[in-house]
Amino acid sequence: MEKYLRFFFVLLGAFLGYEGAKYLVSEGLISPSINEYYVYGFLIAIGIISGFGVAPFLSWVIKSILNKANKLVHKAPSSELASGAVGLAIGLLLAILITNFLPEIPTIGGYLPAFITFLLGFAGMSLGLRKRDDFSKVFGDSSKNHNDGVPKILDTSVIIDGRIADITKSGFIEGPILVPGFVLEELQHIADSSDVLKRNRGRRGLDILNRIQKEPYVSVEVYDKDFDDLTEVDSKLVKLAKLISGKVITNDYNLNKVCELQGVSVLNINELANAVKPVVLPGEELRVHVIKDGKEQGQGVAYLDDGTMIVVDGGRRFIGETIGVSVTSVLQTAAGRMIFAKPKAMEKAL
């Protein structure tokens, strides 16, 4: 690209030199004793040298502008690009309608069209960006998938947890799932940690993301926009959720509370897990496998398939065996649900 830009500026310099010589000759501004071909050759040579001299600097400026514009376009949400393009098109259309009558104005009529076109185009694009939500309602928001669900933003903890893969596969989550770039960076940092446990957790999170992305039942997008004015990932998640009117999916208790204080909707995986656990009422009978001692004397501990702990009074003698129990009470705690039961019969279950 740099070679083409330099070649362009050399040609431009030659063209400007030619036009300058043509103007001097046609206006009689050179001495009659000087051959006009010498003037053409001299000014064209000056133009070529000048174009070659300024080409590196101008090429660097143009490349810098293009690179910055490219980064901004990639970071900007598709909804912002669409609304900005619509606003720009409307502004340019108005400029065309207005500037048809401007050349008739004396003196300034030839300069006003370019100025008004730029002004209305910029104003239309700015208005389109500010009214993004209104344009989305009229033309459809391309940042959402076909079911028009609210975007769901994943935090690092819920990705590492892994249960989000099974939940999305079940079809209970609608709308696009967004993985912010700063969350992905944190996940990669954890995966590169020198601590074995952290490294395994990070790699598990990356495996979960790859698993979700390969499945056809959900749309997963990496959201590259970052917030350089914030350092905490949780603060960035809250700001992003407010910006796109999305919901945060997490199992982090502190993030859950921060989102609630900021008025951001939260989908807590732990709350969902507790909500879908089977309801067990006192008096019901269950068959459980007692696996270890309880805290109190004579108690045994068993677990349901969903991980719910059952404390069996007098179940210590049945460790390692499957027995029938009768539920006596159910206790709901912040850590989850606990079930207390007694052996259905004193003899060992067959």
Strand-strand pairing, 285-293 and 322-333: antiparallel
Q: Give 315's DSSP letter.
A: -
Residue 342: the pLDDT is 92
The tokens describing 33, both together, are 């004793």
Nearest to 180, CA basis, from 266, 95, 243: 243
pTM, full prediction: 0.47
Q: Kindly state which CATH superfamily the domain 285-343 is placed in.
A: Nucleic acid-binding proteins (2.40.50.140)
CA distance between the termini of the chain: 81
Classify 28 as helix, strand or coil.
Answer: coil
Give the integer Cα–Cα distance in Å for 105 and 107.
7
Residue 142: the pLDDT is 44
- Read off φ and ψ for residue 311, nearest 5 degrees: -95, 115
Residue 38: the pLDDT is 79
Q: Give 318's DSSP letter.
A: G
121 CA to centre of own chain? 28
152-275: what fold? Rossmann fold (3.40.50)
Q: CA quadruple 41, 45, 46, 51: dihedral positive or negative?
A: positive
Residue 74: the pLDDT is 56
Give the integer Cα–Cα distance in Å for 151 and 338.
35
Map tokens 């050759």 to a residue: 41
Give the integer Cα–Cα distance in Å for 231 and 127.
31
Looking at the DSSP bridge assignments, the partners of residue 292 are: 301
Residue 168: the pLDDT is 82
pLDDT tens for the chain, residues 1 to 350: 667 767 777 888 888 888 888 878 777 777 666 777 777 888 888 888 887 888 777 777 777 766 766 665 555 566 666 767 777 788 778 877 777 666 555 555 455 677 677 777 777 777 766 666 555 555 554 444 444 468 889 888 889 988 888 888 877 777 788 888 888 888 888 988 888 888 898 898 899 888 888 777 778 888 887 888 888 888 888 888 888 888 999 888 888 888 888 888 888 888 887 777 777 888 888 899 999 988 888 899 998 877 788 999 988 888 998 999 999 998 876 556 788 999 986 544 44
Residue 302: the pLDDT is 92
CB atoms within 10 A of CB 253: 12
Is residue 125 classed exposed, middle or buried when 0-12, 13-18 and 19+ CB atoms within 10 A define those classes? buried
Domain ranges of the chain: 1-75, 85-136, 152-275, 285-343
